[in-house]
Amino acid sequence: MTSGWIIIGLLAALALWTVAIYNGLVTLRQRANQSFADVDVQLKQRHDLIPALVEAVKGSAAHERETLDAVIKARQAAVAAPSVEQKVTAENGLTSALGRLFALGEAYPDLKANASFQQLQGELGDVENKLASARRFFNSATQEFNSAVQRFPALLFASALGFHSLPFFSAGDNRADMERFPTVKF
């Protein structure tokens, strides 16, 4: 009789321990999801500024059609990206295209002096700073979640319960493109 109570007590303790780990993983996953939602808000603001910026550039650098098309295509790809991994890749492409667009401001004095371009460039710079902060928070929350999923004993049942590591928001393979000096046509 006593050994039966001991077994029941051990099973109850194991069940409580499993529930505690499960709830901890759910909390961490929700924190990572919320932090990505914060990144998404900043990305939306960035996406909203780009059409006005492209219009401002068109007036001063109309023959830079290739650069303008690249920005528009990169924005469309970023808006349409369905998953976190695809968003990261698309946003990195958009960042690279925006870098080439801002380089036009250096090549065209009229564009650089354009008040609308300057205002949009300032607003986009502000959004980029907020986005960088949101990305850091997302990567921190993702690191915390991924560590919890991969640590013992959670790794024994995390995958079976639907907990999988999340991707980080990094420059990845596009880092070289983002750091390359843009070419400007005259």
CATH number (domain holding residue 3) = 1.20.1440.20
Number of domains in the chain: 1
Q: Which two tokens stand for residue 15?
A: 């069940």
With respect to residue 168, please indicate whether it lies within any of the assigned structural domains: no
Which residues are within 8 A (CB) of 67 and not within 5 positions of it... i.e. 6 or more apart?
Answer: 57, 61, 97, 100, 101, 104
Model's pTM, two decimal places? 0.75
- How far from the centroid of its chain's Cα atoms is residue 145's Cα? 16
**Structure confidence at residue 176 as a pLDDT band (50, 70, 90):** low
What is the tens place of the pLDDT at every residue in 111-164? 777 788 888 888 888 988 998 899 999 999 999 999 999 999 888 888 998 999
DSSP 63: T
In a domain, 63, yes or no: yes
Domain that holds residue 125: 1-160
> Does any domain span residue 60?
yes
Distances (CA, A) of 21 to 37, 47, 149, 152: 24, 39, 10, 11
Whether 79 is covered by a domain: the verdict is yes
Model pLDDT for residues 12-45, shown as the tens digit of each residue: 999 999 999 999 999 999 999 999 999 999 999 9
pLDDT in tens, 75-113: 999 999 988 888 888 888 888 888 888 888 777 777 777
Q: Tell me whether residue 176 is in a domain.
A: no
What per-residue confidence (pLDDT) applies to 35? Answer: 93
Please say if the pLDDT value at position 184 is more than 50. Answer: no
